[in-house]
Amino acid sequence: MTANPETCDIFCAVVDNYGDIGVSWRLARQLANEHGISVRLWVDDLASFGKLCPEVDAALGEQRCREVEVRRWDKDFPAVTPAGLVIEAFACKLPESYVEAMAAQEHKPVWLNLEYLSAEEWVEGAHRLPSPHSRLPLTKYFFFPGFTAKTGGLLLERGLLARRDAFQADRASLTPALSQREREFWRSVGVPERAADELRVSLFSYENDAVTGLLRAWEQGAMRVVCCVPEGRVLPQVAAFFGQANGTAGDAWQRGNLSVYVLPFVEQERYDELLWACDVNLVRGEDSCVRAQWAGKPCVWHIYPQHDGVHMQKLRALSDLYGVGLPAAAHQANAALWLAWNGEGDISAAWSAYAAQLEPLEHHATAWSAKLAANDLALNLLAFSRQVA
Ligand code: TRH
């Protein structure tokens, strides 16, 4: 007899920033809303969660949100019957009592560790590997997201690319005009509509030594650049460029050919719209990097820095994979800008070379998103769970 895969517990420990909860929340919603699974999402930091989904009340131990049962993951873990499918996000440690309860089930739950995203080659070999528990009759499986068919794929909500296309629709026409949705979006964040002669970029990154050089390149460049910066870690550096101590949503600064608008940190769906509405997106970590790829626009990745420096290998791996199919000059410009944005190289020269390749980069970004869409993480995860149940 198999466990009931129609129920799912997802455990998310927020280590740092928003990526852990960003991915867990996306997966929870997708399983509940698109696959009819009864999902409980256990989160140890509801305040961070509330930034991505303002409906979440950080004071509540239990609540329902968008068809997902959200439970605060406190130290004293309650006695609950484990779900048929148990997902620990990013190797967070499940409560011991819960693991014991899993082992005590007649039909053992399917237990998956949803891993961090990497384009490195070893991921294909590690994806779906079993890891038997040292003491209990349980097996945990590693489930790796990724960019190739031999990995678990990427989270992609049903209809997302069609919604993106509708949002961006009029831009492709001969007389470019903004769609109503795009107009509404800019109005809602207090930023003027985009003009035909400007390059609009979004900037979401960690503190970054290359920021000043990039802002200067935009300020002194031939093209008008409008840069939208959501409130967050890089904002003090951007503010300092304009001689300000810090910034807050609603601030706007201008110098030379560069205008900067400070945006509020918006909920996840609206952040997608920001990515769809910009020509180039500077993104970070894991989830925003994937969302920028779904936007079908050129993107520049600030990777989450690790102390041992292994993040640069990860950066190169995605840059190499992403570059397949790009004309050589565009591939080189993309790779050089990603490296310079992560501390290796001259950011000003890298931006000039990149700006000269925007057309092929844009074509490639659209084709890349279509190619990736064939490998849907939620579908793969459910198929695998049913196979090993
Ligand atoms: O916040 P992050 O830096 O998270 C990181 C990474 O995931 C990294 O891999 C992980 O190891 C580390 O945390 C612990 O970047 P990320 O992954 O892009 O997550 C940001 C989330 O915030 C994403 O879901 C998009 C969302 N977001 C909004 O919802 N609204 C906004 O206005 C912005 C700027 C982001």
160-372: same fold as 7-155+375-388? yes
Taking all residues of the chain, what is their mean pLDDT, rounded to a whole number?
Answer: 95
Question: 142: which strand partners?
Answer: 113
User: Ligand 1: distance of its center to the CA of 108 in Å?
Assistant: 33
Of 214, 234, 230, nearest in space to 350 by CA: 214
For ligand 1, whether the C-beta of 305 sits within 6 Å is no
Q: What is the mean pLDDT of residues 178-186?
A: 90
pLDDT at 264 over 80: yes
Report the atom number in ligand 1 closest to the C-alpha of 264: 32
User: Ligand 1: distance of its center to the CA of 389 in Å?
Assistant: 32
E strands in the chain: 7-12, 38-43, 62-65, 68-72, 85-89, 110-114, 130-132, 139-143, 198-203, 224-230, 252-255, 258-263, 280-284, 299-302
Q: What is the mean pLDDT of residues 133-138?
A: 97
Domain 7-155+375-388 is found in CATH 3.40.30: no
> What residue owns the CA closest to ligand 1's atom 1?
18
For ligand 1, whether the C-beta of 287 sits within 6 Å is yes
Report the atom number in ligand 1 closest to the C-alpha of 290: 18
pLDDT at 347 over 70: yes
For ligand 1, whether the C-beta of 322 sits within 6 Å is no
Which pair of tokens denotes residue 88?
Answer: 């620990």
pLDDT at 72 over 80: yes
Look up the CATH superfamily of 160-372. Glycogen Phosphorylase B; (3.40.50.2000)
Q: What's the Cα-to-Cα distance from 138 to each of 143, 144, 150, 254, rounded to whole Å?
A: 16, 19, 25, 59
Q: Looking at residue 307, what is its pLDDT?
A: 87
Structure confidence by residue, pLDDT tens digits, 194-222: 898 999 999 999 999 999 999 999 999 99
User: Ligand 1: distance of its center to the CA of 231 in Å?
Assistant: 13
Q: Looking at residue 171, what is its pLDDT?
A: 59
For ligand 1, whether the C-beta of 129 sits within 6 Å is no
User: Ligand 1: distance of its center to the CA of 275 in Å?
Assistant: 13
Q: How confident is the model at residue 173 (pLDDT cuts 50, 70, 90)?
A: low
For ligand 1, whether the C-beta of 82 sits within 6 Å is no
Which pair of tokens denotes residue 254?
Answer: 């201008």
> What residue owns the CA closest to ligand 1's atom 24?
22
Catalytic residues: 20, 286
Q: Looking at residue 1, what is its pLDDT?
A: 45
Torsion of CA 139, 142, 143, 146, to 10 degrees: -170
Please tell me whether residue 64 adopts helix, strand or coil conformation: strand
Could you tell me the residue ranges of all domains in the chain? Answer: 7-155+375-388, 160-372
User: What is the C-alpha to C-alpha distance for residues 15 and 18, in angstroms, rounded to an integer?
Assistant: 9
User: Ligand 1: distance of its center to the CA of 319 in Å?
Assistant: 19
Model pTM score: 0.96
pLDDT at 108 over 80: yes
pLDDT at 158 over 80: yes
Q: What's the Cα-to-Cα distance from 217 to each of 63, 114, 221, 347, 354, rounded to whole Å?
A: 48, 40, 6, 8, 12
For ligand 1, whether the C-beta of 301 sits within 6 Å is no
Q: How confident is the model at residue 172 (pLDDT cuts 50, 70, 90)?
A: low
